[in-house]
Structure 1
């Protein structure tokens, strides 16, 4: 079964990181990504630009409305994702717990909808 692992972190905290801290975090993500590629769990994944680059789209009464930024103001913003193959939710949760940002942010684990 496939699961989407949504990575939430604070843009403000990331902005306060030193160049060395960012380099270390990038290395941790590289090692994690290689580990799930080698284990066969990896399907796709990427980081996202900061939430300040987001545009939210809504359609109301047939009119397209756009708003700069994410849908809601929150302490943590969506920073990236992994799409993984896992035998069950427990295995997906174990993979999610190894994502470096899980130490300071949160990882939302959601099963992918299967259409028959």
Structure 2
């Protein structure tokens, strides 16, 4: 089964300002070596987003994130695991879990 790990954090949280890049890269390399990680990447800040809605055939574009919330998605990983428990364990070992939140969802 394939799972999406969504790396979430609160905008303005000082913990997210830490240099987490190298530990995340090392985690990704290890998960890839073990055959679990299929793909992954970080995302630019929410302020760089464009939100697209189509209503009545007209595209409505808004600068910035879709939701007015402090917590935003900062990156994603796609992993393949035999069980949900294995996916949760992979998320638990991700460095991001120590400073933010990781949402684990099975892909259809």
Query: Fold conserved (TM > 0.5)?
Result: yes
Asked if 1:39 corresponds to 2:26, the answer is no
SS across alignment from 2:13: helix
Q: Give the 5 Å matches for 1:1-116.
A: 1-13=1-13, 17=17, 21-22=18-19, 25-113=20-108
TM-score, normalization by structure 2:
0.92
Aligned residues: 108
Scaled by the length of structure 1, the TM-score of the pair is 0.86
Question: Unmatched 5+ residue regions in structure 2?
Answer: none
Q: Which structure has more strand as a fraction of its residues? A: 2
Distance 1:71 1:64, change over 3 A: same
Residue segments in structure 1 that go unaligned for 5+ positions in a row:
none
Structure having the larger proportion of residues in helix: 1
Instruction: Give 4+ residue runs of structure 1 displaced > 2 Å after superposition.
Output: 13-17
